[in-house]
């Protein structure tokens, strides 16, 4: 679900960007052993296709043939648009941005994790084209916005906060002078920015963020990859600000 940088409101359209990686390059939806079969009892036993708000909720194709998608149980048999609409009512107010100057393979993983933690949006900074394989189709449910440059991202953030104010922008990288993520009071509404794999935050990103945070490490490696770092940082936000998920006992 990709939008441009000019409109500050996440667009519900999920049209593929003209130069995006085609669908056949993505990992497929899980099939065997995942999900549920056709709705028991056949069409006569189907629930009302519309939800309480009168908008379409259930997908007749899924009711008839089963739902093998990798979604949590509460969304079984729901139409794609209905899932997105429901997520839009409870997305968290943090955003995730990742620099993409060389087709970073971690971006798909970042999008998948952002969907798992109900991030408001993922922002791709740099090249529009990104490898969606690691997203495992979660980009269909997650708002994704493109910004050609870091400056464009910062300009968007300057008016994207509550009541039109600025969103705090925080970098995540293990740089000299950075502040430990552990114990840092993350703002409820904010943007977490991650650099390109192997090079980290660009000079423009370092100059534009409010603080740079690092993740504590205890082994021999100097760094962890951007996908892992993004997951840790998003979970740190969730620990500080989010309550229990709506289906804590469910797994898709």
Q: Which domains does the chain have, with CATH numbers?
A: 2-17+88-241 (3.40.1280.10)
Mean pLDDT of 115-119: 98
**Residue-wise over 195-212: b if at least 16 C-beta within 10 A, else e?**
bbbeebbbeebbebbeeb
Percent of residues, the chain, with pLDDT higher than 70: 84
Q: What angle do CA 11, 91, 49 make, to 5 degrees?
A: 75
Q: Is the pLDDT of residue 31 over 60?
A: no
Mean pLDDT, rounded, of the chain = 87
**Hunting for tokens 């229990």 — which residue is that?**
244
Across 36-48, average pLDDT: 96
Q: Cα(57)–Cα(240) distance, rounded to whole angstroms?
A: 32
CB-based burial, 15-38: b 16+ in 10 Å, e otherwise: eeeeebbeeeebeeeeeeeebeee
Q: Mind listing the pLDDT tens digit for each residue in 56-108?
A: 999 999 999 999 999 999 999 999 999 999 999 999 999 999 999 887 788 99
**Of 11-20, 191-200, 214-223, minimum mean pLDDT range:** 11-20
* Token pair for 142: 């997650």
- Residue whose tokens read 């998003």: 234
Residue 247 CA to residue 140 CA, distance in Å, equals 20
- CA-nearest of 128, 112, 109 to 197 is 109
């Amino acid at each position: 679900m990709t939008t441009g940088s000019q409109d500050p409101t996440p667009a519900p359209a999920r049209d593929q960007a003209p130069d995006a990686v085609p669908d056949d390059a993505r990992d497929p939806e899980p099939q065997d052993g995942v999900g549920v079969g056709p709705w028991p009892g056949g069409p006569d036993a189907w629930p009302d296709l519309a939800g309480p708000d009168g908008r379409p909720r259930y997908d007749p194709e899924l009711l008839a043939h089963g739902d093998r998608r990798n979604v949590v149980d509460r969304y079984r048999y729901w139409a794609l648009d209905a899932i997105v609409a429901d997520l839009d009512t409870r997305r968290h107010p943090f955003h995730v941005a990742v620099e993409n100057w060389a087709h970073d393979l971690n971006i798909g993983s970042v999008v998948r994790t952002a969907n798992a933690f109900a991030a408001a949006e993922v922002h791709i900074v740099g090249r529009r084209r990104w490898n969606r394989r690691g997203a495992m189709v979660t980009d269909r449910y997650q708002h994704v916005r493109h910004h050609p440059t870091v400056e464009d991202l910062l300009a968007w953030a300057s008016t994207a906060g509550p009541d039109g104010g600025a969103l705090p922008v925080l970098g995540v990288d293990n740089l000299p002078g950075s502040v430990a993520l552990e114990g840092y009071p993350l703002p409820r509404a904010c943007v977490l920015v991650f650099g390109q794999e192997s090079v980290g935050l660009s000079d423009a990103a370092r100059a534009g963020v409010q603080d740079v945070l690092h993740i504590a490490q205890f082994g021999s490696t100097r760094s962890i990859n951007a996908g892992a770092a993004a997951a840790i940082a998003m979970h740190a936000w969730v620990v500080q600000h989010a309550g229990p998920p709506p289906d804590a006992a469910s797994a898709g």
